[in-house]
Amino acid sequence: MFNHSIQAGDTFFELTSEQIADRVRDGVVATAISVRWRSEATGHETQSAEFAVQTNQETNTVQLVHKGDVLGEVNLDTELPPESADPADADEILASRFPTSAALASIVTALDPVVGCLIKGAALSVADQTIRCWRSTNQTDPFPDRARDAAACLRQNGMRVGWKFIVRLGRCLISLGLD
């Protein structure tokens, strides 16, 4: 869906977000989020963390998952502000259901708040669009069919997700990860 990298001095950050095709075939909307970073603080060794934003049929939610642990979830039927609204409006609904960027950075033992901002920005952007796509599917279809339709919608809106990620990342960085 999207990739983003940042270099600040000797510190390098990279985020990759892509749909997990095997999970979509199984009727789950799943997006892998991978963050890598390298700096003096890491001894110039690359550190990484993997997360997934995925739907759950049993709870009818979209979840943020890390190493099998659900870190946050939002109901797929949650009503969000219009697409034309500022992403901050949707964040008022979504952000309280996911860990803060500082908490996300500490989960992966990253010393730099940028790591938390990357994870949170990507997770909220993917969850936001997943919910919008889910709500646009035929509500009478079974969950797996709706998931496949929502996954196709999510792919079609990849640029929108990437743009909202940049906006959210910028806001987080300005606040030094104190969200």
Do residues 14 and 2 lie in contact, with contact meaning Cβ atoms separated by under 8 Å?
no
Model pLDDT for residues 40-69, shown as the tens digit of each residue: 777 889 999 999 999 999 999 999 999 999
30-38: strand order across its sheet: 2-8, 11-19, 30-38, 47-56, 61-66, 69-75
Amino acid of residue 138: N
Model pLDDT for residues 80-99, shown as the tens digit of each residue: 999 888 888 999 999 889 99
Kindly report the pTM of this predicted structure.
0.93
Around Cβ 168, how many Cβ atoms within 10 Å? 27
| Distance (Å) of CA 169 to CA 112, 124, 140 | 14, 10, 36
Around Cβ 16, how many Cβ atoms within 10 Å? 16
d(CA 85, CA 45): 40
Give the mean pLDDT of the chain: 92
Model pLDDT for residues 67-79, shown as the tens digit of each residue: 999 999 999 999 9
In the numeric block, the tokens 């796509």 are attached to 133
| Distance (Å) of CA 77 to CA 13, 41, 72, 103, 131 | 34, 42, 16, 26, 7
> For position 105, what pLDDT does the model report?
87
Helix (H) or strand (E) holding 106: helix 101-107
**Max Cα-Cα span within the chain:** 54
The domain segmentation of the chain, as residue ranges, is 2-174
DSSP state of 99: -
